Structure 1
Amino acid sequence: GDIRKALNALEMAVLTSDKEDGAIKITIDDARECMQGKVLPYDKNGDNHYDTISAFIKSMRGSDPDAAVFYLAKMLEAGEDPSFVARRIVICASEDVGNADPMALVVASSAANAVEMIGMPESRIILSQAAIYVACAPKSNASYLAIEKAAEDVKNTGDAKVPPHLKDAHYKGAKDLGNGIGYKYPHDYKGNFVVQQYLPDSLKNKKYYLPKGIGYESKIIERLKRLWSK
């Protein structure tokens, strides 16, 4: 944290100092001015670190952009690694926003990439934009719940067999084993969709993804009902 703070101060001094004969000269006063910011209590291995990142994530999840940007500023001013913060925003965009606003993950991922390219202090602007977007986006954890439930069934059901019509049929002798027989290619049907079984027999009636009808997921619900109610 202290080293990053010093590097940030040095970069700020370089950006704000005038050139003389093609060279940038940084005086003691320049360095003092850039370093005079208040040192915040923020131990990366202590409670303050975990409490602040927890508050940051929960503020985005709770749709409070003001609180989110405050805790973001607190972390960055204390010298937190911007890449660490960016990763938390990406996770929140998927776990807490999900398909209610799929663009949240795009914005967060783009911000994470931009942070790697730009560095501080400008990365704070990029992180602010991404955190505010995620905080303001409609929320759904349906994708998170879906993978959790599916993973639990994978652990509990053992080796649930792939339906024969979905098995690979490209190798010689595959059809002799019944692989691929009866598979319906969706693009051969109206609307590029046809009803057929995809889950293993023991799980064929399971529902893992239950969109919540918020934001874009309301359109997903309509589409799935239209397709699978045939």
Structure 2
Amino acid sequence: MSSIPLAERLRPKTLDDYIGQEHLVGVGAVLRKMIESGNISSLILWGPPGVGKTTLAKIIANTLERPFYILSAISSGVKDVREVIDKAKKQQFFNNPNPILFIDEIHRFSKAQQDSLLGAVEQGLVTLIGATTENPSFEVISPLLSRCQVYVLKHLEKDSLLKILDLAVNKDIDLKEKKIVFKEHESLLRFSGGDARKLLNVLELVVHAEEKEKIVITNEIVTERLQNNLAIYDKNGEMHYDIISAFIKSIRGGDPDGAVYWLARMIEGGEDVKFISRRLVILAAEDIGLANPNALLLAQSTFDAVHQIGPPESRIILSECTIYLATSPKSNSAYEAINKAQQLVKETGNLPVPLHIRNAPTKLMKDLGYSKDYKYAHAYSGNFVEQDFLPEKIKKVRFYTPQNNAGELKIKERLKAWWGKRFEK
């Protein structure tokens, strides 16, 4: 039996063996074209764990036959970055192609560490590939971000996960020696959460626990093995997304006790407090919104304070914000409104802006009717006058619907007073 984990044994070496992320590396896709051209720019791969970020970086280096250096933002510092850059400088004398520097979890690099990369990226000494599970806009400094293309990787879909399972039992050096039959897949797929590494870890755990000649995998067996081996299943922080999900759902569900418990689990597990504070800001807008606009202000203050103070004291600030958000009235009306609007934009395309609300900085534009008949709201009683602001084709569409909470009931009454029947429902 191999001591190398199954996920590592099955790591693909070429684009043709790579499963998933068709929008990036499928035939004719943007990243595949770049790789096949041989001219790759610095880039950041943003996506959840286990979707192939590290694998893709290695495939790029192998395909382009470039030297490949890998650093982890958790264990590497400025000194390590400078050592790689020095090696890259020395290789220039031999007309070698510039190496690829892969930095895993680049969002954990400090500003000073990221600054140390800038010069080498600008001069083309290295091609940077960063991997992150967090929005790079938050944690990657602007000068570095502006020099990188950002590509978003997605959770793997069911078809991709089933392909990976089939590959494991038919191609892996250990598993192909066993007779493995999948009677049911649902639990394996559900526990994986779209994460290929987690999927293969669970499969390996289940297979190693069975001593029979023929291994029949069912939902019941998978669930039982995971419950009995929680520590193995949770290695390397694989419960990260399950815990944050429980935390968010506890706040959304109005349970301060559940929310603080999951907060404590994250803090005790060494979770990045900046990550927690970011999620609180998002939740305040998405789940509380206009029912209590002060929630977003407090969440933003928490975000700022946590960045300035850090652990262990930041736990108190996070606890205060968590309890406030959990006990606040809830509304997702702003979230629903922008979703509806974006969906309609996708369906209808670039509808023309009504003439009366177009900008008219030149005489020609005025002659063409731009801004004609526009009514300046402040010139009317109550600083309001009824007029159309949506394109003609969709002018009767409603995106925002006030919900049944004290804050939005006031908004609803104001809108009814302004617009009459349009906001009666």
TM norm structure 1: 0.80
Structure 2 counterpart of 1:127, one-letter code = L
1:133-153 CA-to-partner distances (Å, cap 9, x unmatched) read 111111111110100000001
In the alignment, the residues of structure 1 paired with residue 362 and residue 320 of structure 2 have an alpha-carbon distance, to the nearest angstrom, of: 50
Task: Tell me: CA distance 1:104–1:198, structure 2 relative to 1, closer, same or farther (3 Å).
Answer: same
Match of 1:189 among 374, 380, 383: 380
Q: Which residue in 1 is equivalent to 2:350?
A: 159
What whole-Å deviation, never above 9, does each CA across 1:27-48 have from its counterpart, x for those lacking one?
Answer: xxxxxxxxxxxxxx665651x1
User: In structure 1, what is the equivalent of residue 264 of structure 2?
Assistant: 73
Shift of 1:170: 1.7
Q: Is 2:304 the counterpart of 1:113?
A: yes
Residues in 1 aligned to 2:310 and 2:235: alpha-carbon distance in whole angstroms: 22
When the two chains are superposed, the root-mean-square deviation of aligned CA atoms in Å is: 1.8
The higher relative CO (CA closer than 8 Å, separation ≥ 6) is in 1
Matched, 1:100 2:291: yes
Distance 1:196 1:80, change over 3 A: same
Q: How many angstroms apart in 2 are the aligned matches of 1:102 and 1:44?
A: 37
Match of 1:53 in 2: 244
Q: Which residue of 2 aligns with 1:126?
A: 317
Superposition map of 1:1-230 within 5 A:
45-46=237-238, 48-229=239-420
In the alignment, the residues of structure 2 paired with residue 51 and residue 134 of structure 1 have an alpha-carbon distance, to the nearest angstrom, of: 20
Same amino acid, percent of matched pairs: 53
Aligned to 1:36: none
User: CA–CA distance in 2 between the matches of 1:44 and 1:145?
Assistant: 35
Q: What is the rounded CA distance, in whole Å, between the counterparts of 1:87 and 1:215 in structure 2?
A: 27
Instruction: From the superposition, tell whether residues 118 and 205 of structure 1 become closer, same or farther in structure 2 (CA, over 3 Å).
Output: same
Whether contact under 8 Å (1:168, 1:179) holds in the other structure is yes
| AA at the equivalent of 2:255 | D
Q: State which drifts further: 211-220 or 140-149.
A: 211-220
What letter corresponds to residue 78 of structure 1 in structure 2? G
**Separation (CA, whole Å) in 2 of partners of 1:145 and 1:95:** 9
Q: Which runs of 4+ in 1 moved over 4 A?
A: 41-45
Equivalent AA in structure 2 for residue 155 of structure 1? K
Q: In the alignment, residue 407 of structure 2 is paired with which amino acid?
A: Y
Q: Give the deviation of 1:77 after TM superposition.
A: 1.1
- Mapped to 2, the partners of 1:78 and 1:202 lie a distance apart of 53
Aligned residues, how many?
A: 192
Letter in 1 for 2:378: H
Deviation string, structure 1 residues 49-104 (Cα, Å, up to 9, x no partner): 11110000000000001110110011011110000000111111111101000001
Structure 1: state its 5+ residue gaps.
5-40
**Worse-matched range after superposition: 164-173 or 149-158:** 164-173
Aligned twin of 2:136: none
Residue 114 of structure 1 deviates from its aligned partner by: 0.5
- Helix, strand or coil: the match of 1:173? helix
Letter in 2 for 1:215: A
Q: Describe the superposition over 1:169-228 as per-residue Cα deviations: whole angstroms up to 9, x where unpaired.
A: 122311111100000000000110100000000110000000112131111111111111
1:44 and 1:52, CA in 2 relative to 1: closer, same or farther beyond 3 A? farther
What amino acid is the match of 2:371?
G
Provide closer, same or farther for how the CA distance between residues 53 and 44 of structure 1 changes in structure 2, counting only shifts above 3 A: farther
Q: TM-score, normalised by structure 2?
A: 0.44
Residue 72 of structure 1 aligns to which amino acid in structure 2? L
- The 2-side partners of 1:116 and 1:80 are apart by 14
User: In the aligned structure 1, how far is the partner of 2:360 from the partner of 2:265?
Assistant: 57
Q: Give distance in 2, aligned partners of 1:107 and 1:143.
A: 18
**How far apart in 1 are the matches of 2:333 and 2:339?**
10
CA distance in 2, matches of 1:50, 1:214: 31
